[in-house]
Structure 1
């Protein structure tokens, strides 16, 4: 490895660590505001909330690493352009591709780490976080549940909670395509939901077939849906492929699962597009009074995040093809970078 390679990797690597700390704090702050702050406001145990937040750190690191890489690249290369280091490299016969090479090498390291963590560490950590909330719900349902909360039982049925009070929960619905359980009251006992004063209705087509009342029924729970959409990131690649195959065989839509599967690869692979874009932009801005500055660095980083968020939502809803939704933002930055490399100073 040459002196130039070591210099570029050292400069960008140090900035990546600082940027990653900022990005992770921002992502965790979003989780705290959207999910955890309402729980604290309803009286949830702060220790439980802190544990859950800690289990979200690996996810924030994996998702924040590509953004931190983009931020660091733009910041370092912009500074090198302002201080005429890039001009000196060109004058000394160092090509733009030669500058790009060590940055791609560093990006490959981030890609491998993020890809491996996204399919192993992150799913386990998110599932452990859900288990923390699950145990807390069993002890104090009013603090962690709210009307409209959805749960999943051990048989894959959707459990809908309509009312939450100090006495327990009410207006419970356990729903499948063939039947529905309706109960006025429910309470948690040792990992199960106990329903009382309810009714079971089975369906044949669109019409009710049988109706029977019950005094008591137990529903074993395995999952809580206490987060905003995006929980598919807690599944591994194998689990996503299995779910896609199952939904396809049943004729059910699987846009969200296929989008999540492609994002497993597209998010860490964004580092390659970022390296091309940052180098192209840095050389394009040479030779004039133009300077990217801190504001420009922040704006360009935010543009990718905004594009990625919109693409994810459109892919999950089936508006965009999942491949385009997952890989589109990467493609935009890569094409822009190649154009800038061609137009930049030689």
Structure 2
């Protein structure tokens, strides 16, 4: 058994440099379109090179979430293909070393990449997404959109307040613009296209409204109308992909928000923990297939299909969460769990 640690070290020395090569290759392939788009901006809009570089650098963490696990597959396939070609696997088997002993070094590498992917997703990417969006608006010579809340609803006594959009005033935290307004009281309903919310005075003001009483026809009143409304005006939060882990946990626990926003926050929170484990699954699956399938072409084709299937499931989950067809936790963990189960099943055959 003294040869097993040396074998593990040999496999690691073979795979790690190839991982760096695969990482750079996938990075180049993934950012070719991005670089051409940035070059177009620089030519058309006279975008300063430093601003273009700022946008590119801050866009990278989003791409790295996919590249870091995928490069593991590249490294394992190339390394095991070279070892099979040189008959090293036959020599290892002749020495009495079990094939399963060649997988645990890949598992260690997969766990290291899992940690890197987790740090990227939870520490680096959220702030980078904020800076990337800021650079994008400056490249377009436009101003960022004012944060807003969609589908606000609040009941207070016998009154019901609804606004399609609540747009917070960035300069005055206690004021907001309202659009698509409905105020319902006993026996009468008021609707308006626009209005305002003054949380300091605890009022809603409709700029001009339609009044509909029970059994009557709608009547338009051009004058403003004020309603008392005591809810607290909460500034709209950033999108889930721009939130750090602590902020995301708070948003995922806020049941007062719209159910679709709540689902999106919970799904993003669970995915921050689940997605990094794809690196471990890819490492074990690629290694097991490389050892089980003597034909390198078949091994390569099998792993490509495995990656494709994983990413199809991964991209389908947000749509199912959005319509409430699957729980947020199940949707977030399903791709990585299926991949890990497949990898463990293939590894079991190497006993």
Note if 1:265 corresponds to 2:273: yes
For 1:318, the equivalent position in structure 2 comes to: 324
Q: Which runs of 5+ in 1 are unaligned?
A: 146-150, 159-174, 183-190, 193-197, 215-220, 225-230
1:17 CA displacement: 0.9
1:67 CA displacement: 1.1
**Cα distance change of structure 1 residues 25 and 307 upon mapping to structure 2, 3 Å threshold:** farther
1:23 CA displacement: 2.0
1:10 CA displacement: 1.5
Residue pair 1:276, 1:338 contacting (<8 A) in 2 also: yes
For 1:237, the equivalent position in structure 2 comes to: 245
For 2:207, the equivalent position in structure 1 comes to: 212
For 1:203, the equivalent position in structure 2 comes to: 182
**Cα distance change of structure 1 residues 83 and 233 upon mapping to structure 2, 3 Å threshold:** farther
The 5-angstrom pairing of residues 18-33 of structure 1 reads: 18-29=21-32
TM-score between the two structures when normalised by the length of structure 1: 0.69
1:77 CA displacement: 2.2
- Determine which structure has more spread, i.e. the larger CA radius of gyration: 2
SS across alignment from 1:119: helix
Note if 1:279 corresponds to 2:301: no
- Which of 44, 47, 59 is the matching residue for 1:45? 47
Question: Residues 103-128 of structure 1: CA distance to partner in whole angstroms, max 9, x if unpaired?
Answer: 11112222222212321122122211
Question: Residues 237-279 of structure 1: CA distance to partner in whole angstroms, max 9, x if unpaired?
Answer: 2222111111x24462322222211221122111222232123
For 1:132, the equivalent position in structure 2 comes to: 135
**Cα distance change of structure 1 residues 41 and 295 upon mapping to structure 2, 3 Å threshold:** farther
Residue pair 1:130, 1:223 contacting (<8 A) in 2 also: no
1:181 CA displacement: 8.4
1:90 CA displacement: 2.1
**Cα distance change of structure 1 residues 264 and 38 upon mapping to structure 2, 3 Å threshold:** farther
RMSD between aligned alpha carbons? 3.9
Residue pair 2:64, 2:120 contacting (<8 A) in 1 also: no
CA–CA distance in structure 2, aligned partners of residues 157 and 312 of structure 1: 21
SS across alignment from 1:208: strand
1:301 CA displacement: 3.2
CA–CA distance in structure 2, aligned partners of residues 199 and 311 of structure 1: 33
**Cα distance change of structure 1 residues 123 and 14 upon mapping to structure 2, 3 Å threshold:** same
For 2:216, the equivalent position in structure 1 comes to: none
**Cα distance change of structure 1 residues 128 and 297 upon mapping to structure 2, 3 Å threshold:** same
SS across alignment from 1:319: coil
SS across alignment from 1:2: helix
For 2:98, the equivalent position in structure 1 comes to: 95
